[in-house]
Amino acid sequence: MAGINHFRFGRLVAEALTAEAFKDSGHRIVDLEVIPSFDGSSDEMCSWLIFSTVEEAQAAREEAPALEERARAVLAQRGYPTEALPSFRLSFTSVPEIEAGGGRFYYFR
């Protein structure tokens, strides 16, 4: 049975990558979904930045490398393992895309 610290890196990402972390990037993030590694490691993690509109999500997709660099810098400052930073990635979606995909449960599975 996994202890409380099993998903500590997922919790760290959720705490660090708030809308505040991206506020001066020109993108307004309304929510975040973190997909942690099921084994509890910090490797190969993904986080979805969620926007109000499809257009906002598309604009963020076009700036993906810069936004991922920002996310990795924020995570590094918060103590995310340095060796896992290169494998951390962001994905981008919007509330309408999630709703069209059947809601959060179905969209992120």
Q: What mean pLDDT is reported for the chain?
A: 94
Backbone angles phi, psi at 34, to 5 degrees: -105, 130
Q: What percent of the chain has pLDDT over 70?
A: 97
Nearest by Cα to 88 from 77, 78, 76: 76
pTM over 0.85: yes
Nearest by Cα to 35 from 49, 19, 25, 55: 49
- Give the distance from CA 42 to its chain's centroid: 13
Collapsed DSSP state (helix, strand, coil) of residue 48: strand
What the block records as the tokens of 46 is 């993904």
Q: Which domains does the chain have, with CATH numbers?
A: 8-107 (3.30.300)
